[in-house]
Amino acid sequence: MDENLKFDLERFIGACSLVSTIEEENGYKQELSVPKRGKRAGSRQTREGNTNIGGLGEGTLHLVLKNYISANPNDQEKKIGRKITDVYIDGKAYEIQTRNFGSLKEKLADFLPKMPVTVVFPVILKKRIAWIDPETGEMGKYHASPKKETLYNIFYEMVYIKDYLKEKNLSFCIFELAADETKLLSGRSYDRKKYGAVRLNRVPTQLYNTYYFEDMSSFLRLLPKEDEVTVKSIASHAGIECELAQKMIYCLVKAGVLSYDRNEGKEKIYKILS
């Protein structure tokens, strides 16, 4: 297990406190305007003050995870060649990706031949949502969201970096969290909560666990303890939709740890290779 990614509740609390202090000291305030054709609320200021690196796209969740891995500013936003990595410690890069793994492609192509890279991905087990009116700035009360993510959600994103899954230098770490989320009432539905509503920020409130996967074969521990699997057997074992189970199989086949073996009726049978 990577020591920088081990479950440590005290370190998590410290990272949350540090980020809160940084935002307060820099007078950070999230703007509520949404540019035309934009999907995110704009902001001319970063949470970390005058820095231009890592800046406008980083939410509180991203910053907490970055400071959890290392609270030392000298380890953060390091330029390696032509690219910048979130955290760089002892020759290893850490890329925190809360969504859109497709944006990692160029970095992975550049970093993986040179050094180990760990992709850090948060899943929100419990979430509260508060809605903000973009015209008045008024925020409603927090309400529990019925949506719950799981470890398997990483495969929704992993499909976008399928060409790198065989790389020996690639590893993953999943953080299981609770978070408070704020969203704009900017949707196109009658209540303005659907069809384009913009998420402003997520603030982590609890860390439940961290799971480190040193390579793609270590994801096999999420499968049923059998020599052969199917979409249905994985979905049943994990309690997930067949669509997500199919994405998991796709990624593990691309990584070379599963292979298609045969069909039984309309069902494809996959064999575990390692």
pLDDT band at 24 (very low <50, low <70, confident <90, very high): confident
For β-strands 170-184 and 199-213, DSSP reports them as: antiparallel
pLDDT band at 45 (very low <50, low <70, confident <90, very high): very low
- How confident is the model over 112-167, as pLDDT tens digits? 999 999 999 999 999 999 999 888 888 999 999 998 899 999 999 999 999 999 99
Percent of the chain at pLDDT exceeding 90: 73
Q: How far is CA 24 from CA 19, 49, 175, in A?
A: 8, 10, 25
pLDDT at 274 over 80: no
CB atoms under 10 Å from CB of 37, counted, come to 5
Residues of the chain with CATH 1.10.10.10: 217-274
- Judging by beta carbons within 10 Å of its beta carbon (0-12, 13-18, 19+), is residue 18 exposed, middle or buried? middle
Distance of CA 14 to the CA centre of its chain: 20
114: left (phi over 0), alpha (psi -120 to 50) or beta: alpha
Decide if 141 contacts 164 (C-beta within 8 A): no
pLDDT band at 193 (very low <50, low <70, confident <90, very high): confident
Angle CA 161–162–164, to nearest 5: 75
Q: Which long-range contacts (CB under 8 A, 24 or more apart) does 97-100 make?
A: 97/121, 97/157, 98/59, 98/61, 98/62, 98/122, 98/202, 99/157, 100/157, 100/160
Instruction: Give this prediction's pTM.
Output: 0.89
- What CATH architecture does domain 217-274 belong to? Orthogonal Bundle (1.10)
**3-class secondary structure, 153:** helix
Q: What is the mean pLDDT of residues 249-271?
A: 95
- Higher-pLDDT residue of 49 and 272 is 272
User: Minimal CA–CA distance to 143: which of 71, 103, 189, 193?
Assistant: 193
Q: What is the mean pLDDT of residues 159-178?
A: 97
- How confident is the model over 84-93, as pLDDT tens digits? 999 999 999 9
pLDDT at 272 over 70: yes
Percent of the chain at pLDDT exceeding 70: 88
Mean pLDDT of the chain: 89
Taking the C-alpha atoms of residue 59 and residue 124, their distance in angstroms, rounded to an integer, is 15
Q: Bridge-partner residues for 127, per DSSP?
A: 179
- How confident is the model over 27-39, as pLDDT tens digits? 776 666 655 555 5
